[in-house]
C-alpha cells in the first residue's frame, strides 16, 4: 500500500501558498521499462488523476505537523518505482 501526503514547514516570510495537483503517479514497476513515454507500456500507476477536479490545498493551513492526504491508500505491486 502507498499513500501520498503533503505538509508544510513554518515560514515567517510567506503569507499564502496554494497548490493544485491534478495527477500523481508512480513510474516503473515489475517488468516494465521506466524510460518510455508511452503510459500503456511504461508501468505507470495512477494514484490520483483528476484534471477536471484537481486537489487544492493552502499549504499555510498545514503547519504545526498537520498533513493532508493527497491520495487514498492504493495497493500496488512490489517493484521499483520513480
Q: Residue 80: inside a domain, yes or no?
A: no
Q: How many domains does the chain have?
A: 1
CB atoms within 10 A of CB 68: 15
pTM to 2 decimal places: 0.70
* Contact (Cβ atoms closer than 8 angstroms) between residue 68 and residue 3: no
What pLDDT score was predicted for residue 2?
Answer: 92
Q: Residue 46: inside a domain, yes or no?
A: yes
Antiparallel, parallel or unpaired: β 5-6 and 68-69: antiparallel
Greater confidence (82 vs 49) lies with 49
What pLDDT score was predicted for residue 20?
Answer: 96
What pLDDT score was predicted for residue 31?
Answer: 61
Residues spanned by the domain of 40? 5-69
Q: What does the angle CA 46 – CA 47 – CA 50 come to, to the nearest 5 degrees?
A: 80
Q: Residue 36: inside a domain, yes or no?
A: yes
* Contact (Cβ atoms closer than 8 angstroms) between residue 56 and residue 48: no
In the predicted model, what is the mean pLDDT of residues 19-37? 74
Greater confidence (80 vs 7) lies with 7
Q: What is the mean pLDDT of the chain?
A: 83
Q: Residue 32: inside a domain, yes or no?
A: yes
Q: Residue 37: inside a domain, yes or no?
A: yes
Amino acid at each position: 500500500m502507498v499513500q501520498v501526503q503533503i505538509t508544510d514547514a513554518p515560514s515567517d516570510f510567506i503569507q499564502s501558498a496554494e497548490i493544485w495537483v491534478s495527477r500523481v503517479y508512480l513510474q516503473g514497476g515489475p517488468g516494465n521499462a521506466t524510460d518510455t513515454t508511452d503510459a500503456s507500456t511504461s508501468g505507470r500507476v495512477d494514484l490520483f488523476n483528476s484534471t477536471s477536479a484537481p486537489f487544492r490545498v493552502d499549504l499555510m493551513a498545514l503547519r504545526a505537523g498537520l498533513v493532508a492526504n493527497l491520495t487514498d491508500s492504493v495497493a500496488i505491486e512490489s517493484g521499483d518505482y520513480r
